[in-house]
């Protein structure tokens, strides 16, 4: 990152994420859920993937199967909902577009979290964090917490702190907290609580006497690199305040796949963005096929440059797909829905797509009637083969069509209306 000649303050990173995202999105349109224990279930209504604080207080664990909870649901007043990915995708797109207005540098990290580059005095940063929190709640209707720190890892930690400690009122600026308090927190938290440290790694770190986050932050980065990996060394450096986790171009989360990147040369035309979207559509198709998955919802986004704060544009759109698919033609075509939102002659510095509502391929095969013609002819596999043999960019899709049927094979007995993406399912307001 190049630095301006005169700089009052070092750039910092804000990590923003929505509290209990899926449950909060449901509550935004059904206020009767406010204050009640709410869980959102995984695909096929299998197990709890999101729990409201009230549901956590009941002792419901992450991943607890619904059939075990169902018998007690009534007694608890527990509301269980099927996952409504179209709603979550649209709410996510709104949140990201709004956050883009606060910083010229935005990295959509997952469906419900983003990193933003921010600058200012500690007071200004706190005020900015509170502004973002208020705006997302007011405009979109969901609650967020904000952590601001010199590095991504610390920003995530600050955010977690803000969530769990009501004293912060949802916004924690790491450097504004007394050093002694930060140490106490880092001593109390196990290394497993830190971003990027998994269970297996925790055991190996423990064997070296590294138990708390504080221990890890005091470890020798070179020793960590030699014994573990560059990835873990980066975590150590980040805990010490040196930013070194780069923008990731491809991420696979629990229930989403993200592709995004910054461009070496800004793109200034819809035609250019169209090309980028085509590439991502095909990459997403290849990844989905590799993992044996299909997606039902796609979000496409783009953003302007860090260095050009005058003309900013952060369009983000959510497209429900007509059927679950891993078809590169359909995914590419869907991603092109972003194009009408692209302003010509603005310098876009990054773009990406995210696919959600993932389910195993062939788990519920559509009737032949609804089967996709491209899939049948294995276009995806063919494109992959050619790419593998002749390199990336040797073949690509130009045009494509969407054909599909209804998605009625997935078990979603407790699905709320798709309030924002279907005209027949708009939220009802009582006039009585």
Partner 1 sequence: MGVVVGPRVIDAGASLLSVLISPVAVAAGYPSPAQDYFDGRIDLNEHLIKDVTSTYVVRVSGDSMEGAGISDGDELIVNRALEPVDGSVVVAVLDGELTIKRLRITGTGIVLQAENPAYPDIRVPSLSDLVVWGVVTRCLHYV
* Interacting residues toward partner 1 by CB under 8 A: 29, 31-32, 34, 94-95, 97-98, 135, 138-141, 270, 274, 329, 333, 339-340, 373-374, 377, 379, 382-383, 385-386, 390-395, 397-403, 419-420, 426-432
Residue 373: CB minimum distance to partner 1, A: 7
* Residue placing its CB nearer to partner 1 in the complex, 8 or 399: 399
CB of 374 to partner 1, least distance (A): 6
Residue 36: phi and psi, rounded to 5, are: -100, 155
* Sign of the C-alpha dihedral computed for residues 358, 362, 368 and 371 taken in this order: positive
User: Residue 179: CB partners within 8 Å, gap ≥ 6?
Assistant: none
Q: Which token pair is 301? A: 């986004």
Contact 380, 293 (CB under 8 A): no
Q: Which is nearer to partner 1, 18 or 95 (CB)?
A: 95
Taking the mean position of all CA atoms in its chain, how far away is CA 235? 20
Which residue, 99 or 189, has its beta carbon nearer to partner 1? 99
Closer to partner 1 at the Cβ: 110 or 421? 421
- Shortest distance, position 93 Cβ to partner 1, whole Å: 9
Adjacent-strand bridge partners of 301: 316, 352
CB burial readout 196-209, b (16+ within 10 A) else e? ebeeebbeebeeee
- When the beta carbons of 186 and 379 are compared against partner 1, the nearer one is 379
Instruction: Decide whether 150 or 303 has the Cβ nearer to partner 1.
Output: 303
Rounded to a whole number of angstroms, the minimum distance from the CB of residue 79 to partner 1 is 12
Nearer to partner 1, 200 or 399 (CB): 399
Contact (Cβ atoms closer than 8 angstroms) between residue 43 and residue 28:
no
* Least distance to partner 1, CB of residue 424, Å: 9
Distance, first Cα to last Cα, the chain: 57
When the beta carbons of 137 and 251 are compared against partner 1, the nearer one is 137
Coil/strand/helix, residue 349: strand
Asked if 22 and 49 touch (Cβ cutoff 8 Å), the reply is yes
As measured in angstroms, the least distance from the Cβ of 427 to partner 1 is 5
Burial code (b: 16+ CB inside 10 Å, e: under 16) for 55-89 equals beeeebeeebebeebeeeeeeeebbbbbbbbbbbb
- Residue 378 CB, shortest distance to partner 1, in Å, is 8
In the complex with partner 1, the residue whose CB is nearer, 139 or 229, is: 139
Nearest-approach distance from CB 98 to partner 1, in angstroms: 4
Picking from 331, 338, 340, the residue whose alpha carbon sits closest to that of residue 280 is 331
Non-local CB neighbours of 26 within 8 Å, separated by 6+ positions: 33, 38, 40, 81, 84, 87, 416
15: β partners: 115, 147
The CB-of-422 to partner 1 minimum distance in angstroms stands at: 11
């Amino acid at each position: 990152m190049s630095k301006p000649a005169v700089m009052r303050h070092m750039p910092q990173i804000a990590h923003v994420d929505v509290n209990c995202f899926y449950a909060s999105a449901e509550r935004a349109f059904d206020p009767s859920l406010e204050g009640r224990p709410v869980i959102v279930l995984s695909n096929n209504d299998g197990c709890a993937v999101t729990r409201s604080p009230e549901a956590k207080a009941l002792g419901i664990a992450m991943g607890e199967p619904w059939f075990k909870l169902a018998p007690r649901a009534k007694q608890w007043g527990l509301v269980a909902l099927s996952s409504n990915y179209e709603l979550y995708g649209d709410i996510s797109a709104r949140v990201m577009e709004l956050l883009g207005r606060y910083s010229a540098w935005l990295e959509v990290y997952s469906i419900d979290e983003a990193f933003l580059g921010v600058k200012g005095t500690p007071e200004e940063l706190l005020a900015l964090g509170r502004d973002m929190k208020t705006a997302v709640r007011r405009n979109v209707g969901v609650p967020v917490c904000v952590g601001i720190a010199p590095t991504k890892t610390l920003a995530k930690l600050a955010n977690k702190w803000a969530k769990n400690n009501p004293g912060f009122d949802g916004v924690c600026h790491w450097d504004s907290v007394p050093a002694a308090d930060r140490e106490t927190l880092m001593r109390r938290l196990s290394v497993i609580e830190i971003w990027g440290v998994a269970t297996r790694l925790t055991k190996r770190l423990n064997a070296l006497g590294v138990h708390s986050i504080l221990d890890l932050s005091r470890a020798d980065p070179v020793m960590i690199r030699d014994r573990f990996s560059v990835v873990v060394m980066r975590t150590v450096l980040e805990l010490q305040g040196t930013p070194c986790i780069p923008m990731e171009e491809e991420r696979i989360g629990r229930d989403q796949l993200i592709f995004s990147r910054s461009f070496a040369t800004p793109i200034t035309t819809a035609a250019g963005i169209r090309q980028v979207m085509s590439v991502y559509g095909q990459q997403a198709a290849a990844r989905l096929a590799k993992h044996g998955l299909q997606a039902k919802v796609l979000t496409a986004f783009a953003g302007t440059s860090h260095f050009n704060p005058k003309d900013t544009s952060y369009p983000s759109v959510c497209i429900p797909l007509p059927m679950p698919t891993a078809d590169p033609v359909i995914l590419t075509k869907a991603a092109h829905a972003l194009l009408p939102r692209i302003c010509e002659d603005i310098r876009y510095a990054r773009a990406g797509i995210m696919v959600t509502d993932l389910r195993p391929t062939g788990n519920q095969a559509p009737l032949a009637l609804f089967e996709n013609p491209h899939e049948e002819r294995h276009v995806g596999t063919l494109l992959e083969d050619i790419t593998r043999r002749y390199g990336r960019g040797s073949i690509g899709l130009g045009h494509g069509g969407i054909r599909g049927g209804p998605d009625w094979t997935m078990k979603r007995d407790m699905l709320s209306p798709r309030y924002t993406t279907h005209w027949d399912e708009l939220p009802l307001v009582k006039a009585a």
